[in-house]
Amino acid sequence: MKTPVSLPDVAAETDLRGVALHAVGIRGLRLPVLLHTPAETVQQVIAVADLSVDIDAEQRGAHMSRLVETLYEWASEPRTPAAVKTLLQATRDRLNSRSARLQMQFPYFLQVPAPVTGTPGLLDVEVEWSCRLNNGASYAVSAFVFPAMTLCPCSKAISDYGAHNQRALARIWLQTRDNLPRLPDEYLPLVQKSASSLVYPVLKRPDEKFVTEHSYENPRFVEDVARELALHLSKCEELVWYRVECESIESIHNHNAFAMYESPKRK
């Protein structure tokens, strides 16, 4: 029986096929992560992470367990989004690689009070970070999915009573000049200004009346929402690139409607 000291390290064997691999790693690891928020609180999220490194042509495999260990160690204390760069540096150094990549998805909760009564509620926003560290150069794209509401301008114009309305998904992808990931807190007000209405976790009767009437007074096609979001984001000097999309979960069709805009890269 082989002792731990004598066990072969098969992943460290030499490979003779001459093919370097751009990404080798783990996919779909679930783990709790503690995040420092812009509201100066700490929020625990349950993240799903992919973590990988490049390997040279002569290296047979990567030591996958080290990737899991590095993620666990990084997630053991509260982190800011900027600390993702330290995770990538630690991953690259631990596996003696030139580059490291992280894909992380998690639901993030924003405090959204009801519009009239102020009844507290938690709105869940889907967040995805796509980050890469290659030698000394870093890259990060943040993506958010905000639930919102659209009320059809055409339906309002042609109908004697009411107008069809529905829940919609406002999606934002963005890259900042510092190439660090972001949280969605500062972008929720832009969605609120662009859609017919936000959706709210808790509504009392005065709140429901307000949302119904406010959305009726602010009809939006998906095209309107996409354009409004694009204009708001164009004023954010910290962005070098962004993409927006509004998808309406149509209440009178068995299909959805969507509109998308992608900005050119800024210098």
How far is it, in rounded angstroms, from Cα 215 to Cα 195? 8
Amino acid sitting at position 157:
A
Q: Which CB contacts under 8 angstroms, 24+ apart, belong to 215-218?
A: 215/149, 215/151, 215/165, 216/151, 216/156, 216/162, 216/163, 218/151
Return the SS3 of 154.
Answer: helix
Query: pLDDT, tens digit, for every residue of 52-110?
Result: 999 999 999 899 999 999 999 999 999 999 999 999 999 999 999 999 999 999 999 99
pLDDT of residue 264: 96
Per-residue pLDDT at 34 exceeds 70: yes
pLDDT of residue 166: 97
What secondary structure letter does DSSP report for 79? B
Confidence of residue 253 (pLDDT cuts 50, 70, 90): very high
Distance linking the first and last C-alpha atoms of the chain: 62
Amino acid sitting at position 92:
R
**What b-and-e string marks burial along 68-97, b requiring 16 or more CB atoms within 10 Å of the CB?**
eebbeebbeeebebebbbebbebbbebbeb
Confidence of residue 135 (pLDDT cuts 50, 70, 90): confident
Residue 131 sits at the vertex; the CA angle it makes with 266 and 47, to the nearest 5 degrees, is 130
pLDDT of residue 192: 97
Confidence of residue 32 (pLDDT cuts 50, 70, 90): very high
Per-residue pLDDT at 5 exceeds 80: no
Return the SS3 of 46.
Answer: strand
Return the SS3 of 114.
Answer: coil
How far is it, in rounded angstroms, from Cα 241 to Cα 175? 5
pLDDT average, residue stretch 145-174 = 98
Per-residue pLDDT at 1 exceeds 80: no
pLDDT average, residue stretch 31-49 = 97
**Burial classification of residue 241, based on how many CB atoms lie within 10 Å of its CB (0-12 exposed, 13-18 middle, 19 or more buried):** middle
The domains found in the chain, sorted by start residue, are 22-98 (no CATH), 112-267 (3.10.270.10)
How far is it, in rounded angstroms, from Cα 146 to Cα 149? 10
Query: pLDDT, tens digit, for every residue of 173-214?
Result: 999 999 999 999 999 999 999 999 999 999 999 999 999 999
Q: Mean pLDDT for the chain?
A: 96
Residue of 249, 211, 40 whose CA lies nearest to 119: 211
pLDDT average, residue stretch 120-141 = 96
**Burial classification of residue 26, based on how many CB atoms lie within 10 Å of its CB (0-12 exposed, 13-18 middle, 19 or more buried):** middle
pLDDT of residue 12: 84
Compare 174 and 10 and report the one with higher pLDDT: 174
pLDDT of residue 61: 85
Return the SS3 of 166.
Answer: strand
